[in-house]
Amino acid sequence: MMGFEKFGHKSFTSQTKVNAFVAALESNELKGTKCISCGNTYFPPRADCCGCLGSDMVWINIEGPGNLLSYTRVNYAPTGFEKDVPYTLALADFNGTKVFGRLSSAIAKEETMVVMSLKAAVVNLPDGQITYEFIKA
């Protein structure tokens, strides 16, 4: 086990060179990476830069507020997520960096709308998993 299996409501893979992403979440921070050589920034974080072929990366913070780009409230779920339905998946923009995740269930269906202002919040799940969600900014 490498640590990455702790990320998400359900994990599908445990090994990655960017598993420090999980440690950052544990410190309440949502992080991407930035290439030291060429300055490209990445979210989701990457260990390698396809711009310059370099692999020297530093961690950077993804900070809010952001805007909701699109969303969907799902009534069906794949195996392992059945107990969560309904939940809302969303794509948000944080100053040009897009982030995919769930919208907090505290945001009412009626007030959910494209361009609404959001921020990311770390969520510790009861089973020990860790993730993030979007809450009202």
Partner 1 sequence: MSKDVAIIGVGQSAFVRSYQGSIRELAFEAFREAMQDAGISTGDIDASIICSAPEYDNQRSPSGIIAEYLGLNPQPTFAVESVCSSSTTGIRVGYSMIKSGLHDLVLILGFQKMSEISSADSQERMGRGADIMWEAPFGTMMPAYYAMHAQAHFASYGSTEKDLALIRVKASKYGILNEKAVYRKEVKLEDALNAGMVASPLKRFDCCANADGASCIIMASQARAKEMAKKPVWVLGLGSATASMTLTGRDALNGLTCARVAAEKAYAMAGVTPRDIDVAEVHDCFTIAELMAYENLGFAGPGQGAELIRAGETYIGGKIPVNVDGGLLSKGHPIGATGGSQVRTIVQQLRGEAGAIQVPNAAIGLVHNIGGVGVYGNVIILGR
List residues binding partner 1 (CB under 8 A).
2, 4, 7-13, 15-17, 43-44, 46-48, 50-51, 53, 55, 69-81, 84, 87, 89-91, 97-102, 114-115, 131
The CA–CA distances, whole Å, from 70 to 16, 92, 107, 116 equal 28, 7, 14, 10
Nearer to partner 1, 41 or 136 (CB): 41
Quick one: what does residue 48 bind among partner 1, Zn ion, none, with the CB cut-off 5 to 8 Å set by partner type?
partner 1
For the bound state, the minimum distance from the C-beta of residue 53 to partner 1, rounded and expressed in Å, comes to: 5
Residue 52 vs 135, nearer CB to Zn ion:
52
Give the Cα separation of 46 and 48 in Å (integer): 5
CA distance 26 to 130: 8
The single residue among 25, 49, 62, 116 that binds Zn ion, judged by CB under 5 A, is 49
Q: Which CB atom, from 12 or from 106, has the smaller least distance to partner 1?
A: 12
Work out how close the CB of 78 gets to partner 1 at its nearest, in angstroms, rounded to a whole number.
Answer: 3
Amino acid type, 13: T
Q: Tokens 């420090």 belong to which residue? A: 20
Residue 37 binds Zn ion, judged by CB under 5 A: yes
Cα separation of 53 and 70, whole Å? 32
Please tell me whether the peptide bond between 126 and the residue prior to it is cis, using omega within 30 degrees of 0.
no
What DSSP character marks residue 104?
A: P
Contacts with Zn ion, residue ranges (CB under 5 A): 35, 37-38, 40, 49, 51-52, 54
